[in-house]
């Protein structure tokens, strides 16, 4: 189990007390196991490994928050395995509850469509699978997801013009990522595409301006400045990361494209890990976006300042896992 408390406490003004994972694991043999419960599928780089001492910079990879809605957890069953015949090759398959169609929207993508173990229905399902390969400092993975979004009765779904059933009104997502480390140098790269082919039906039903597709990619290079020093058991990582995404890459005929969600990021800085569980982070974040579509700004306030498509942030953070 993994329980999280967000915003330090839970009260009427906010915060969250939640089970992030709660599962049973059944070992079949030393290479294969089954799991069941609330778990995190193997998708992307940070979905499974999202603690703040495992990534550079104060923010998680933006592409993996907005296109891949990490941390993404659902109820289901999974099979994980590997083989001695091909050392380093691992695979996973999972059957989970699907998404909530009402939560899919332009600019937010799938984030608000996750059930996260609450109010989920087995009326709509999803499949995910991943192939993962390790070899010394190399880690490569390809993963995919396909699932339905309408957990309603056929009559209720039909009244909204949506397709019900286990995989009705589907969403698909595929990603490839690679990580490599050697002699203090590290490289990370990821590309992802998400398709929502029935976005026009979602827009008719919920007026959510859902996109037909979203895309994103990122690349990061880092070097441990202490690699050849007498303090090599510690880490002082100088890094730079570029991320680009378009959350409204393609919109249906009844959607409105908003270039506000075509975004580029440059993040650079230092991560100092005096011990493995603690990180002190300093970074600069450069953000560039498209101009917001005025057709989506209802009753604009004449006193609002002009929108700035380019912004810079300086961030200092202290992270630990326990």
- Closest Cα to residue 26, out of 76, 74, 78? 78
Rounded to an integer, what distance in angstroms lies between the CA atom of residue 156 and that of residue 154? 6
Q: What pLDDT shows up at residue 14?
A: 86
pTM greater than 0.85 (yes/no): yes
What's the pLDDT band for 189 if we cut at 50, 70, 90?
very high
Q: What pLDDT shows up at residue 303?
A: 86
158 vs 304, residue with greater confidence: 158
Q: Which of 13-22, 127-136, 199-208 is predicted with the least confidence, judged by mean pLDDT?
A: 13-22
How confident is the model over 135-152, as a mean pLDDT?
A: 96
Q: What pLDDT shows up at residue 38?
A: 96
Residues 244-288 pLDDT 10s: 999 999 999 999 999 999 999 999 999 999 999 999 999 999 999
How many other β-carbons are positioned within 10 Å of the β-carbon of residue 211?
A: 29
How many other β-carbons are positioned within 10 Å of the β-carbon of residue 111?
A: 17
Q: What pLDDT shows up at residue 223?
A: 97
The H or E element spanning position 60 is none
Average pLDDT of the chain is 94
Q: Which of 12-16, 80-84, 107-111, 271-275 is predicted with the least confidence, judged by mean pLDDT?
A: 12-16
Q: Does the pLDDT at position 319 exceed 90?
A: yes
Q: Does the pLDDT at position 316 exceed 90?
A: yes
Q: Does the pLDDT at position 238 exceed 90?
A: yes
Q: What pLDDT shows up at residue 4?
A: 85
How confident is the model over 166-172, as a mean pLDDT?
A: 96
Burial class of residue 284, CB neighbours in 10 A (0-12, 13-18, 19+): middle
Name the 3-class secondary structure at 103. Answer: helix
Rounded to an integer, what distance in angstroms lies between the CA atom of residue 134 and that of residue 10? 40
Q: Does the pLDDT at position 13 exceed 90?
A: no
**Tokens for 209?**
């301006």
DSSP state of 140: E
Q: What pLDDT shows up at residue 107?
A: 94
Q: What pLDDT shows up at residue 302?
A: 84
Burial class of residue 190, CB neighbours in 10 A (0-12, 13-18, 19+): buried
Rounded to an integer, what distance in angstroms lies between the CA atom of residue 196 and that of residue 171? 5
Question: What's the Cα-to-Cα distance from 174 to each of 59, 120, 177, rounded to whole Å?
Answer: 23, 23, 10
Q: Is it true that the peptide bond before 71 is cis, omega within 30 degrees of 0?
A: yes
- Backbone torsions φ then ψ of 307, nearest 5 degrees: -70, 130
């Amino acid at each position: 189990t993994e329980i999280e408390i967000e915003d330090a406490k839970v009260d009427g003004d906010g915060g969250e007390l939640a089970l992030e994972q709660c599962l049973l694991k059944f070992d079949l043999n030393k290479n294969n196991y089954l799991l069941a419960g609330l778990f995190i599928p193997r998708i992307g780089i940070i979905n499974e490994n999202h603690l703040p001492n495992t990534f550079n910079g104060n923010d998680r990879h933006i592409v993996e928050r907005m296109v891949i809605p990490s941390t993404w957890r659902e109820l289901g069953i999974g099979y994980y395995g590997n083989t001695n015949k091909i050392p380093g090759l691992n695979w996973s398959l999972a059957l989970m509850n699907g998404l909530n169609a009402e939560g899919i929207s332009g600019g937010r993508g799938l984030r608000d469509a996750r059930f996260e173990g609450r109010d989920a229905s087995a009326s709509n399902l999803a499949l995910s699978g991943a192939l993962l390969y390790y070899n010394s400092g190399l880690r490569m993975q390809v993963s995919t997801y396909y699932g339905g979004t309408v957990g309603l009765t056929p009559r209720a779904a039909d009244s909204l013009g949506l397709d019900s059933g286990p995989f009705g009104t589907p969403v698909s997502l595929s990603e490839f990522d690679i990580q490599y480390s050697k002699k203090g140098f590290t490289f990370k790269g990821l590309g992802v595409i998400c398709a929502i082919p029935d976005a026009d039906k979602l827009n008719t039903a919920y007026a959510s301006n859902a996109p037909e597709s979203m895309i994103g990619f990122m690349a990061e290079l880092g070097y441990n400045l202490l690699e050849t020093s007498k303090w090599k058991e510690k880490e002082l990582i100088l890094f730079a990361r570029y991320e680009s995404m378009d959350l409204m890459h393609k919109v249906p005929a009844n959607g409105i494209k908003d270039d506000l969600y075509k975004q580029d990021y440059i993040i650079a800085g230092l991560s100092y890990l005096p011990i493995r569980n603690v990180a002190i982070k300093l970074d600069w974040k450069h953000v560039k976006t498209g101009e917001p579509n005025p057709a989506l700004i209802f009753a604009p306030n004449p006193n609002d300042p002009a929108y700035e498509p380019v912004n810079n942030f300086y961030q200092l953070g202290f992270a630990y896992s326990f």
